[in-house]
Amino acid sequence: MREYWIALNSIDGLGPVRIRRLLEFFGTPKDVLSVPPPLLLDKKLIPASSAKAFQNKGELIDNARKQIDFCDKKDIYILIQDDENYPVYLKEIFAPPPVIYVKGDLAVLRKHALAVVGTRHPTPYGMDCARSLTAQLCGSAVIASGLARGIDTVAHTHCLDMGGQTVAVLGCGIDRVYPSENQSLAERICQNGALLSEFPPQTAPEPYNFPRRNRVISGISCGVIVIEAGEKSGALITADYALQQNRTVFAVPGPINSSVSGGTFKLIKDGAVPVRSAADIFEHISAVTFVPLLTASPQKIRSEAPPAPELAAEELAVWDALSDTPERVDTIAQTCGMEIPQLLRVLLTLELKGFIAQLGGQQFRRTS
């Protein structure tokens, strides 16, 4: 039966929406492939460009069986909509992918997932927010993202570093990794999560694949968190799909003068939930029709807070006054009760030791 799903899904010009209509009319993929092409054309169920493929049913089935053999050798799972491991949230969207390909732990697809997405060019603030939220969330939910540069990579990486599980949705075949510099990250994800794609193996990462990829990111998740996005960011496409799929959209507010705050500002203006911590997310996600995340069995997650370094008393006082969020010198001085000249000396010492970093405008934060 699986080969008929793959064969139907491989026909150019169909796609999830047309396949859904065909299945509604005729029942199973095997039944659909048995229908004479003129009848399908007469009912306007397929485009003329797809008719020839229906006439070559034998070739379609042979190619599907070859694909199954290829995936078996590469430890790639092929899931159809009837499989028990097919992601439950994804199955609920309009016209879900008829076939998906998975490499890694199938069990992770049966757990609650939250998507963390954002710009490919994040600021230090955005990366800090991604790490902080991922650390707070990964004990209760699988972190889903798209393996892209920037926020996606930070979310996947920090989730794994914290001992959580993550799913990366690809815009290419599952036997390829894009961008190529994330090859080692993809291998880590397979060990404690999964790679997922609706595209057959050996599919190149073409630009038009990525909006479809974004639809699946939101589809497998019960909420989407956007951290830094320009006004034309692909993360906004994911957010749009999330709204269509009745998911909750969250956005992390950013500095108003940042070029990667325009998209998140617009999302909040249009009704997205502003987020400062995981508590904001759990408060709203429990209101949707899915099972509340708060009832999920927590995973054993490593402690987010690093141990305090061995420092002199005045250095430790300043380090304690800092966090991942940049603070101005006058604020730090007020917090730790130091005079500015003494504080500047201590800040320089901590910076030289590598414990803190100086940003613009006499702002300092802890290093990661």
Residue ranges of domains in the chain, CATH in brackets: 2-73 (no CATH), 106-295 (3.40.50.450), 313-366 (1.10.10.10)
Q: Which two tokens stand for residue 107?
A: 């069990």
- What would the pLDDT profile of 254-296 be if each residue is shown by its tens digit? 998 999 999 999 999 999 999 999 989 988 875 444 444 444 4
Chain centroid to Cα 144, Å, comes to: 3
Q: Is the dihedral of CA 180, 182, 187, 189 positive or negative?
A: negative
Tens digit of each residue's pLDDT (9 = 90 or more) over 291-317: 444 444 445 555 454 555 667 878 888
Side chain identity at residue 11, one-letter code: I
For 193-218, what is each residue's pLDDT tens digit?
999 999 999 999 999 899 999 999 99
Across the chain, mean pLDDT equals: 89
For 168, phi and psi rounded to 5 degrees? -110, 120
What are the residue ranges of helices labelled H in 302-339?
313-321, 329-336
